[in-house]
Amino acid sequence: MAQYEKYWLKVWNDKRIFESEAVPGRKKAFVTFPFPYMNGPLHIGHCFTATRVDIYARFKRMQGYNVLFPWAWHWTGESIPGMSYRLSLGDEGVRKAFLEIDGVPESEVERFVDPEYLASYYTRVSREAVKDTGFSVDWRREFRTVDPAFKKFIDWQYLRLRELGYVVQGTHPVVWCPHDESPTGDHDRMEGEGVSPEEFNLLKFEVEGGKKRWLVAGTLRPETIFGATNVWVHPEGKYVEANVDGEAWVVSQSAVTKLSEQLHDAKITDEFKGSDLVGLKVKAPITGKSLPVLPATFVDTEIVTGVVYSVPAHAPYDYMGLLDLQEGRAKAPPAAVLLAKELKPISLISIKGYSDIPAEDEVKKRGIKDSNDPKLEDATAELYKAEFHRGVMKENTDRFKGMKVSDAKEKVIEEMKRKNLLSIMQELPERVVCKCGTRCYVKILENQWFLNYSDPAWKELTKTVIRAANVYPEQSLEWYFSTIDWLRNWPCARKSGMGTKLPWDKEWIVETLSDSTIYMAFYTICQFVNGEKLQFGQLLPEVFDYLLMGKGSDAHVSKLSGIEMKVLKAMRNEFLYWYPVDMRNSAKELIPNHLTFYAFHHAALFEQKHWPRGFSVNGMIQIEGQKMSKSRNVFITWRHALEQYGADGLRATLALAADGMDDADWKAKNAEDISSKIDSLFPFIEKGLANSTEREKELSDRWLLSVVHGRIDVVTKSLEEMKIRKALSVALLDVWNDIRWYLRRAEKPRYETLKMVFETWIRLVAPFIPFTSEELNSKMGNKGLITTADWPSVVDFPLDEAAEVSELLVAKVIEDARNLLKIIKEQKKRLTIYVSSDVASEYFRELAKSEKGGSDRGEVIRKFASSGIKPERVIKLQYELGEELVRRISALGRFDEFAVLSSAAPFLSNEIGIEVRVFKAGDKKTEDPANKAKDALPFKPSFYLE
């Protein structure tokens, strides 16, 4: 970090220029960045997104807006306590990540077993990084989502949402960790990422003989019951008889827990080994066929009921299991082998491209030799998919024959349900292990609280929020709408973790994405809490009703809460002044959740005038072309980047990284280049001014001032639309190139021109690189702060079309001449330039006018017929120059090319490297030994090289 960066930080801080108060009547801009989650240090991804916010904030401030940019910290949720817990268990991976990736000192990590400490540590270091980067934040409004006052705010929010019918109760299956007693989301898993519950069918096979009891088999393919030949159990597995909802079921021991977690009443009454079941006969549902129970080691007692029925014709596992038994590969009692030998696969589905026994085809194709071959997984998946989509039920399937398998499945389920032969169990198709190390299963959670995002009326209202807002970049708009359509009810509370309890049901804690939807409103008043103008306990729901909705009288609310009337009114004023948020910028990944939730909740709770006004997103950040990932150590903390490149280097690199929804690639090389480019501003400006002189304006000055007009315009418009990259690219690089041209072009740069342009330039780049701007400004001897200076105005830079077009001509002549010299390799020592005659220029202008539908082109051609200029050459020239340029040239009226080029002759000579002289075609004095003058056309002088 440069020394001057520290200096300016202190100046800004001492002058409190980022502390913003409501000033009724003054235009305001309220900008926000979604508060970051404090389970780790901020990284350059945060920095990328947040830098864009600060740039916008600084831009608006310079435009004269009263700007509020607040900041807060997200602590809600289970991730922080989860990390502490794992550390306390001695998890080396977690510890290592703290030390090596996050860069936490050993002594601090010790204390991370306390989640509060962990979060406060990261909050502390992150706050320092944000501050040192020069973000123009009003820190008086800072909070954490576990602060008591914030919890009061969430209380209010959820009470009101519930009253309005947006919070509802429901029952839903979840992946459950019995240790944590909490749902286990994807990010909480050690194993089984992306696995979600699937609905299995439980088919009831009546055990023949003895008392009435059911052997219950799990399957995804109940329609294959017509091909069942036997039932499998694991011979070593633990099985039980249990009373399930009043019936005697035989299932694996682990199935009983799951059943009772899935709203069944289940109690174990007897226990035995799987081998004890082998040899029993059971009656298949619907078909009524009697099937033997046989042993198979591929059966997993942890999955569903630990009992499956066998369809060897269509299930590769079953097919191999049967062969294993018949061919003596499986360990099994002789009686079972005898039973197995009588069984033959029963084909029940016909499918093109397969034989009668598709399972056999799949097994042979893969060279599978026994039922423990892992290739059976693939075989099963492929066959299942093929049969489900393309298979047709055969003759032997009774009233289902001829149906597509997909249809038959539904019908079979219906029928079995009707006959009470089928039940349902939610199960995970793959092993899922919680980060705490416990194996998860599916639990049906009752009476969960949901945000009712399915509500069509709410969806519709939310769409109007989006429609009414500015949404940048425009390609993101569609994503919001499809998200709104796609969202279903969202479970908004959990049983564990940090956060706010549901006010009416203290068992539940408001979940992290659900407590961060309208908190921007809290920023408007949080400074009163922090400034101890009131106690958090005084923040009754009625207080927020008054502050945010204007309900109730100040006198009444003041009396009720004990908050001073004066304070209460001031808070209300702050809210009314600042709300809504004018621009909220985040990474695009938040569109399908946070940003859309944000829109939903505002639609639900706020009047239209307080709906969000601006949504903006940017892409994700990659590091040297790789996706950021802590586990692969592709990770750069904000602090680290800041130390390395300085605040402005970091800011500029990120600002130039990408626009729109494109992902940005962080490259160290790039950051170095940009940093040194910024550094070189100092000598560039210094030298420029030192070499300048006091003189009258000439063409080059008029040109530069006019061009800057255009630059200001583009930068301003780009910033308004959050096109940060485009804005900085123009503000820094294009203006730089403009000045370079000027320095080269002007014989001696004019001090006044340069000073004015430099001062404007410094302000133009100030939102992006504020430290450098302040430093440059003070180095130039100016007193005021750039941060609070006025945004450059185009008014100070008169457009000068003649000057701009003149320079275009000069540049074009240089380009043409160089091109020509390159082609003819022979050494030349003099270039003669012939500018077109007045007649030709006149002709050109008339023709251009006729293009726009003015006079008739034929008539123009006839008028100039005697001048000796071929019409097709002029027409072709117009095409070459382009519509826009022709328009600009014609608009100038008389444009004296000869004057421009003859005065530029010394410059041209310098640029080209040989002597240059300029003549006008048709002039008496013109020397034209090679007869080239006749070829001169407007804006396309002819050349003679010798």
Partner RNA sequence: GCGGGGGUCGCCAAGCCUGGUCAACGGCGUGGGGCUUAGGACCCCAUCCCUUAGGGGUUCGUGGGUUCGAAUCCCACCUCCCGCACCA
The verdict on 128 binding RNA (CB under 7 A) reads no
CB-facing half-sphere around the CA of 667: CA atoms within 13 A: 11
The verdict on 744 binding RNA (CB under 7 A) reads yes
The verdict on 733 binding RNA (CB under 7 A) reads yes
Nearest-10 Cα torsion for 410, 414, 419, 421: 40
Tell me how far, at minimum, the Cβ of 445 lies from RNA, in Å.
Answer: 7
Contact by Cβ (8 Å): 166, 451 = yes
* Cis peptide upstream of residue 473 (ω within 30 degrees of 0): yes
Token pair in block for residue 392 = 């047709």
- Give the nearer residue to RNA in terms of CB position, either 639 or 725: 725
Token pair in block for residue 450 = 């949901």
DSSP secondary structure string for all residues of 1-30: --HHHHHHHHHHHHHTTT-----TTS-EEE
The verdict on 873 binding RNA (CB under 7 A) reads no
Tell me how far, at minimum, the Cβ of 446 lies from RNA, in Å.
Answer: 11
Instruction: Give the count of residues interacting with RNA (CB under 7 A).
Output: 102
- Give the nearer residue to RNA in terms of CB position, either 414 or 589: 589
The verdict on 944 binding RNA (CB under 7 A) reads yes
State the Cα–Cα distance between residues 384 and 419, nearest whole angstrom.
Answer: 26
State the Cα–Cα distance between residues 337 and 333, nearest whole angstrom.
Answer: 7
Tell me how far, at minimum, the Cβ of 500 lies from RNA, in Å.
Answer: 13
For RNA, the binding residues in 652-681 under the rule CB under 7 A are: 658-665, 669-670, 673, 676-677, 679-680
- Give the nearer residue to RNA in terms of CB position, either 11 or 714: 714
According to DSSP, residue 63 is labeled: T
Token pair in block for residue 919 = 């003549």
* 3-class state of residue 430 by DSSP: coil
For RNA, the binding residues in 531-560 under the rule CB under 7 A are: none
CB atoms < 10 A from the CB of 111, how many? 15
Tell me how far, at minimum, the Cβ of 590 lies from RNA, in Å.
Answer: 7
Tell me how far, at minimum, the Cβ of 174 lies from RNA, in Å.
Answer: 5
Tell me how far, at minimum, the Cβ of 494 lies from RNA, in Å.
Answer: 5
Token pair in block for residue 617 = 């997103």
> Which of 45, 358, 497, 938: binder of RNA (CB under 7 A)?
497
> Which of 245, 377, 883, 927: binder of RNA (CB under 7 A)?
883
For RNA, the binding residues in 768-807 under the rule CB under 7 A are: none
- Give the nearer residue to RNA in terms of CB position, either 78 or 800: 78
**Nearest alpha carbon to residue 614 among 29, 21, 122:** 29
- Give the nearer residue to RNA in terms of CB position, either 380 or 670: 670
Look at the alpha carbons of 516, 521, 523, 529 in this order and tell me if their dihedral is positive or negative: negative
The verdict on 507 binding RNA (CB under 7 A) reads no
For residue 141, CA distances in Å to 354, 487, 642, 725 come to 69, 32, 24, 29
Q: Which segments of 164-309 does DSSP mark as H helices, in order?
A: 253-261
Tell me how far, at minimum, the Cβ of 627 lies from RNA, in Å.
Answer: 5
Contact by Cβ (8 Å): 599, 584 = no
The verdict on 479 binding RNA (CB under 7 A) reads yes
Tell me how far, at minimum, the Cβ of 154 lies from RNA, in Å.
Answer: 14
The verdict on 892 binding RNA (CB under 7 A) reads no
The verdict on 188 binding RNA (CB under 7 A) reads yes
> Which of 100, 186, 270, 430: binder of RNA (CB under 7 A)?
186
Tell me how far, at minimum, the Cβ of 937 lies from RNA, in Å.
Answer: 9
Instruction: Give the orientation angle of helix 751-764 with respect to helix 735-745, to 10 degrees.
Output: 170
Radius of gyration of the chain (CA): 39
The verdict on 517 binding RNA (CB under 7 A) reads no
State the Cα–Cα distance between residues 295 and 322, nearest whole angstrom.
Answer: 10
- Give the nearer residue to RNA in terms of CB position, either 664 or 900: 664
> Which of 826, 866, 893, 931: binder of RNA (CB under 7 A)?
826
Tell me how far, at minimum, the Cβ of 512 lies from RNA, in Å.
Answer: 3
**Nearest alpha carbon to residue 678 among 711, 648, 708, 651:** 648
Nearest-10 Cα torsion for 469, 473, 475, 477: -20
- Give the nearer residue to RNA in terms of CB position, either 269 or 482: 482
The verdict on 875 binding RNA (CB under 7 A) reads no
The verdict on 187 binding RNA (CB under 7 A) reads yes
Contact by Cβ (8 Å): 274, 237 = yes
The verdict on 519 binding RNA (CB under 7 A) reads no
The region of 46-54, 100-108, 290-298, 816-824 touching RNA under the rule CB under 7 A is 816-824
∠ CA(402), CA(406), CA(407), 5° rounding? 60
For RNA, the binding residues in 611-650 under the rule CB under 7 A are: 620, 627
- Give the nearer residue to RNA in terms of CB position, either 378 or 679: 679
Task: Provide φ and ψ at 60, rounded to 5°.
Answer: -65, -35
The region of 41-49, 571-579, 589-597, 773-781 touching RNA under the rule CB under 7 A is 589-597
State the Cα–Cα distance between residues 528 and 517, nearest whole angstrom.
Answer: 21
- Give the nearer residue to RNA in terms of CB position, either 418 or 632: 632
The verdict on 816 binding RNA (CB under 7 A) reads yes
The verdict on 879 binding RNA (CB under 7 A) reads yes
State the Cα–Cα distance between residues 766 and 725, nearest whole angstrom.
Answer: 14
CB atoms < 10 A from the CB of 65, how many? 19
> Which of 490, 567, 713, 851: binder of RNA (CB under 7 A)?
490
For RNA, the binding residues in 32-71 under the rule CB under 7 A are: 37, 39
Q: Which segments of 16-135 does DSSP mark as H helices, in order?
A: 44-62, 79-88, 92-96, 106-109, 115-132
Tell me how far, at minimum, the Cβ of 476 lies from RNA, in Å.
Answer: 6
For RNA, the binding residues in 438-477 under the rule CB under 7 A are: 445, 448, 453, 475-476
The verdict on 511 binding RNA (CB under 7 A) reads yes
The region of 51-59, 76-84, 536-544, 788-796 touching RNA under the rule CB under 7 A is 76-84
The region of 186-194, 212-220, 637-645, 705-713 touching RNA under the rule CB under 7 A is 186-194
- Give the nearer residue to RNA in terms of CB position, either 632 or 825: 825
> Which of 100, 245, 342, 478: binder of RNA (CB under 7 A)?
478
Q: Are strands 621-623 and 614-618 parallel, antiparallel or unpaired?
A: unpaired
- Structure-token match 């599916």, residue found: 442
According to DSSP, residue 595 is labeled: I
Non-local CB neighbours of 642 within 8 Å, separated by 6+ positions: 1, 129, 132, 133, 650
> Which of 134, 306, 491, 649: binder of RNA (CB under 7 A)?
491
State the Cα–Cα distance between residues 671 and 432, nearest whole angstrom.
Answer: 42
The verdict on 942 binding RNA (CB under 7 A) reads yes
> Which of 740, 748, 852, 862: binder of RNA (CB under 7 A)?
740
∠ CA(398), CA(402), CA(407), 5° rounding? 95
The verdict on 524 binding RNA (CB under 7 A) reads no
Tell me how far, at minimum, the Cβ of 595 lies from RNA, in Å.
Answer: 10
The verdict on 737 binding RNA (CB under 7 A) reads yes
State the Cα–Cα distance between residues 480 and 603, nearest whole angstrom.
Answer: 14
The verdict on 820 binding RNA (CB under 7 A) reads yes
Tell me how far, at minimum, the Cβ of 594 lies from RNA, in Å.
Answer: 6
The verdict on 194 binding RNA (CB under 7 A) reads yes
